[in-house]
Amino acid sequence: MTIGIAGAGHMGGAILRGLAACPQKPALRVFDSDAARAAALAAETGAFAAPDAAACAAGCDAVVCAVRPADMPALLAALVPAATPDGPLVLSIAAGRTTAWIESLLPPGARVVRAMPNLGASVGLAATAFALGARATPADAALAQTVLSSFGAATALPESQLDAVTALSGSGPAFFAAALEYLAEGGAALGLAPETARALAVQTMLGTATVLARPGAPAPDRFVASVATPGGTTAAGMDVLGASDAKAVFAATLAAAARRAAQLASS
C-alpha cells in the first residue's frame, strides 16, 4: 500500500508518524508547502518528500488531505490530474468540508472519504470517525478503515454526525489537556511542585483512561461511584464538582466547537 500525506502540520505529521510506526508500514509520501518541514518529516519517518501535491498523490492507493479548511481549494486544484476514477482515494481530514463540497472541486468519478482523526494518531491511539462520499465504493470504505485503523480506532458514521465528532474527539484532546492543567494547578496550589503536580495529573489521566478502555469496564458514572466511597476524600471533592456548572460548561464547549464545524461547511 502507498499513502500520500498532503500537508505536514500537526495532524498531517501525527498521521504520518502513526502510519510509519504501524506494524504493516505502508510506503509513504509527504508534501507540504513548507518544503523544509516536509523534508524533516520525511527524514524522521522514512517517507518520500514529494516535490508537489500531484506527485504526492500520483500512483497512491490513497492521498490524505491534511491542510486547513481554507487551504483545501488550492490543494484540490493541485490534485485534479491524479483524481481520476481509478486514481487514489481522496481522504480528507479538513474540518467542516463536506464530501459533496470536495467532490464538486474534483473531476467526475473521483472518490472521496471524509474523516476526523485526532492527535492521538502520533502514538497509535487516534479516535477517528469517517463518512463515505457519493462515489466511494465498498472497497474504498475498506481501504479507509485499513488506513485509519493503522494509527488508532476508526468508526464509519453518517456524515451528518461528523460535526459532533469534530467537537468531541477532534477538538477533545485540547479540552482534556485543559482539564488536566486545571487539576495540576490545583495540586500546585496545595503545595506540590508544579512539575510534580503535572506529572501526577498526566499519569492519573492515563491510568484512568486505560482502565475505562478495557473490555467490560464500568460506565464512567459507575466508575466514579466505585471510587467515591461515602464520607471519603473523593466524595468530598465530587460534592464540589457536582454542585458546580462543570457539566454545562463541557456541554457548551462541545456545542461551540460543533457550531464552528458547521460554519466552516457553509463558508
CATH number at residue 178: 1.10.3730.10
Give the whole-angstrom CA distance, residue 97 versus residue 92. Answer: 8
Whether 90 shows a pLDDT value over 80: the answer reads yes
Give the whole-angstrom CA distance, residue 121 versus residue 115. Answer: 13
**Mean of the pLDDT values across residues 170-194?**
96
Indicate the residue among 162, 181, 213 that finishes a domain. 162
Decide: 180 and 205 in contact? Cβ < 8 Å. Answer: yes
The confidence score (pLDDT) of residue 230 equals 92
Residues 200, 149 share a domain: no
Residues 157, 179 share a domain: no
Alpha-carbon Rg for the chain, nearest whole angstrom, is 21
The confidence score (pLDDT) of residue 150 equals 87
Give the whole-angstrom CA distance, residue 48 versus residue 11. Answer: 18
Residues 220, 142 share a domain: no
DSSP classification of residue 150: T
Give the whole-angstrom CA distance, residue 255 versus residue 247. Answer: 12
Contacts within 8 Å (CB) and 24+ apart, 134-141: 134/99, 134/100, 134/103, 135/103, 135/109, 135/110, 135/111, 136/89, 136/99, 136/111, 136/112, 137/111, 140/89, 140/111, 140/113, 141/113
Q: How confident is the model at residue 24 (pLDDT cuts 50, 70, 90)?
A: confident
The confidence score (pLDDT) of residue 191 equals 97
Domain membership of residue 236 as a residue range = 172-265
- Angle, helix 194-213 to helix 172-189, in steps of 10 degrees: 130
Residues of the chain with pLDDT > 70, as a percent, come to 100
Residues 109, 205 share a domain: no
Q: Is 98 helix (H, G, I), strand (E, B) or coil?
A: coil
The confidence score (pLDDT) of residue 6 equals 97
Q: How confident is the model at residue 207 (pLDDT cuts 50, 70, 90)?
A: very high
76's grid cell: 484540490
Look up cell 498523490; give the residue: 57
Look up cell 474523516; give the residue: 115
The residue type found at 77 is: A
* Element spanning 113, H or E: strand 112-116
Residues 124, 232 share a domain: no
Instruction: List, in sequence order, the alpha helices (H) in the chain.
Output: 10-21, 35-45, 53-57, 72-79, 99-104, 138-149, 162-165, 172-189, 194-213, 220-227, 233-243, 246-266
Q: What is the mean pLDDT of the chain?
A: 94
Look up cell 518544503; give the residue: 35
- Per-residue pLDDT tens over the stretch 75-87: 999 999 999 888 9
**235 falls within a domain:** yes
Decide: 99 and 82 in contact? Cβ < 8 Å. Answer: no
**167 falls within a domain:** no
**Mean of the pLDDT values across residues 139-146?**
94
Whether 8 shows a pLDDT value over 80: the answer reads yes
Residues 49, 30 share a domain: yes
Residues 37, 129 share a domain: yes
**258 falls within a domain:** yes
Q: How confident is the model at residue 119 (pLDDT cuts 50, 70, 90)?
A: confident
The confidence score (pLDDT) of residue 124 equals 86
The confidence score (pLDDT) of residue 122 equals 83
Q: How confident is the model at residue 203 (pLDDT cuts 50, 70, 90)?
A: very high
Closest by CA to 68, choosing from 121, 12, 23, 148, is 12
Rounded (5°) CA angle 74-79-85: 140
